[in-house]
Structure 1
Amino acid sequence: MRVVRFLLLAGSLALGACQTPYQAEGIGGGYEDIRLSDDLFEIRARGNGYSSAAHTRNIMLLRAADLALQNNFSHFAILDGSMRESTRFAGMSTGMATTNVQATVYGNTAYGTATTVYTPSSPQYVSNQHGAMMVKMLHSPSQGALDARMIYDQLNPKIGKR
């Protein structure tokens, strides 16, 4: 029973580790940001095939909080944001043939049947989450602003820098 629990835990940790980490844009996804003025940033994020829309959105929120704190701002406001999903062909699954044989032997003679079931290959697709947001940095709280330290402290332990 302990082995089963260990395998379930190891499998769930491995699957969780497959999501896009908090990192600059790379082959496995990540964020990129453009500073448009002293207090205005455009932040984009792309998740890999294992990342949900919520995870990709959290990468953008963490990046906004990170940028605010790095640039001595205490809050930020999201002026505009969007999420979309793209799907691409990833390859073909492997076809498979399974044969079941039944035989009966009477003396020197065998009688039997064989049945083969073929499962053809099929196309496999991967979906990626994409997000973008325009963020205004603020030195003090205002209507609709988010506290950069609070967002950073909540999200960094979950998806943050490793």
Structure 2
Amino acid sequence: MLSTSRGGAAGILLAAVILAGCATAYGPHGITGGYADTKLAEDLYRVSFSGNGKTSRDMVWHYWIYRCAELTQQQGYSHFIVLKSNDPIPHPVARPMSNTSLPQDPRDGSAPMGQLTPTATHSAPVYIYTPGVPIVTYSGNAVVKMLRVPADYPGQAVLSAEVILKLVGPYVKSAGQSPAPPDQEVIKAALVFTPVAAAPQQRSGQVTIDDLKNLLPSP
């Protein structure tokens, strides 16, 4: 009985050492964390990335958004939409032949990126009683809708998988040794926004805070 207790304590100590040792590497989920994908439909996945006590919030976010883009391309799609837990699943909208509006460029200054209240990445304390110091870990988790034609989803904040892979790839492949591109710059560069067809009750084509606030890590 005593040896069992000692074995359990040793196991907890080993887990604490592993969790607090090196930062989580980019790869499938293991004992130190990593990404996990759950298929919900042909073009719909829940994508998560969990870090350990040595993996910063920013690293977790960059790894998570990179996995969203990587999985999108692996499944044969080019773009994706990040959905909050209460968001309805968007469906393609038939475009009238007379609709000649072009996707808005969010880099023109109309999108108030600096005022965002980001919510995609959250922290969660993990309590390990040996050696007795709580370890705080971070994780990114969201449902991703994959698509091929951004213009079929007017009013949605659509992200280009190719742009994200290009911008974040050097950071991920160097295990965080290369400089991390600023998260807001990644989103601004990857964002494709098609305005909803003009109507009195509908908003203009401006990208709003609600379009973007779920795409960036928490402060």
TM-score under structure 1 normalisation?
A: 0.64
CA distance in 2, matches of 1:86, 1:50: 13
Alpha carbons of structure 1 residues 77 and 151: separation in structure 2 relative to 1, 3 Å: same
Q: Percent identity?
A: 30
Which digits, 9 at most, give the CA deviation of each residue in 1:86-105, with x for residues without a partner?
2222533xxxxxxxxxxxxx
SS of 1:25's equivalent in the other structure is coil
Unaligned runs of 5+ in 2: 1-20, 85-119, 176-219
Corresponding residue number in structure 2 for 1:153 = 166
SS of 1:145's equivalent in the other structure is strand
Corresponding residue number in structure 2 for 1:28 = 32
1:138 aligned onto 2:147: yes
TM-score under structure 2 normalisation?
A: 0.48
Corresponding residue number in structure 2 for 1:86 = 125
Q: Aligned runs of 1:7-86 on 2, under 5 Å?
A: 18-80=22-84, 81=120, 83-86=122-125
Structure 1 residue 41: deviation in Å?
0.5
Alpha carbons of structure 1 residues 52 and 68: separation in structure 2 relative to 1, 3 Å: same
AA matched with 1:45: F
AA matched with 2:149: S
CA distance in 2, matches of 1:137, 1:90: 41
| Larger strand fraction of residues | 1
Structure 1 residue 157: deviation in Å?
1.4
CA distance in 2, matches of 1:141, 1:34: 23
AA matched with 2:25: P
Larger CA Rg, structure 1 vs 2:
1
CA distance in 2, matches of 1:157, 1:31: 18
Unaligned runs of 5+ in 1: 1-16, 93-122
AA matched with 1:147: S
AA matched with 1:73: Y
